[in-house]
């Protein structure tokens, strides 16, 4: 019997965490286990203005996106952001949920 699949029906809720969808042996999961960037925001805080300029992207998220690009072999920023839109591992590693808009 020929099976069918309605691929246009979207789930209203996803009963899983992003982390659970990524294999334990994925390179970004391995890096996340040893990477501690808790010091980064304090270190670069003087480089940001509280009342001037455009809203910034979290320094930790920025560095995590760049590291993800490095480990995935993506050297161009635009290509990295396109990949992050569809790659759950990159999105999770950078700290973005599925419904959150990625930086442009």
Range of the domain at 85: 18-48+57-94
| Domain annotation covers residue 86 | yes
Q: Model confidence over 40-76: pLDDT tens digits? A: 999 999 998 888 888 888 999 999 999 999 999 999 9
| Domain annotation covers residue 1 | no
87 pLDDT band (50/70/90 cuts)?
A: very high
| Domain annotation covers residue 61 | yes
Backbone angles phi, psi at 86, to 5 degrees: -115, -10
Q: Are 90 and 83 in contact (CB under 8 A)?
A: yes
Q: Please give the pLDDT value at position 8.
A: 66
Number of domains in the chain: 1
Q: Are 68 and 61 in contact (CB under 8 A)?
A: no
> Is pLDDT of 24 > 90?
yes
Nearest one of 73, 55, 72, 68 to 95, comparing CA atoms: 68
Q: Please give the pLDDT value at position 23.
A: 96
| Domain annotation covers residue 102 | no
Q: DSSP of 64-101, one letter per residue?
A: HHHHHHHHHT---HHHHHHHHHH-HHHHHHHT--TTSP
């Amino acid at each position: 019997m020929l099976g069918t699949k309605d691929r246009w029906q979207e789930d209203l809720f996803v009963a899983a965490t992003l982390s659970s969808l990524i294999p334990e042996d994925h390179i970004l999961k391995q890096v996340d286990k040893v990477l501690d960037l808790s010091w980064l925001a304090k270190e670069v805080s003087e480089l940001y203005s509280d009342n001037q300029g455009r809203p910034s992207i979290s320094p930790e998220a920025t560095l995590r996106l760049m590291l993800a690009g490095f480990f995935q072999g993506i050297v161009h920023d635009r290509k990295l952001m396109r990949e992050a839109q569809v790659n759950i591992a990159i999105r999770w590693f950078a700290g973005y949920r599925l419904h959150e808009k990625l930086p442009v």
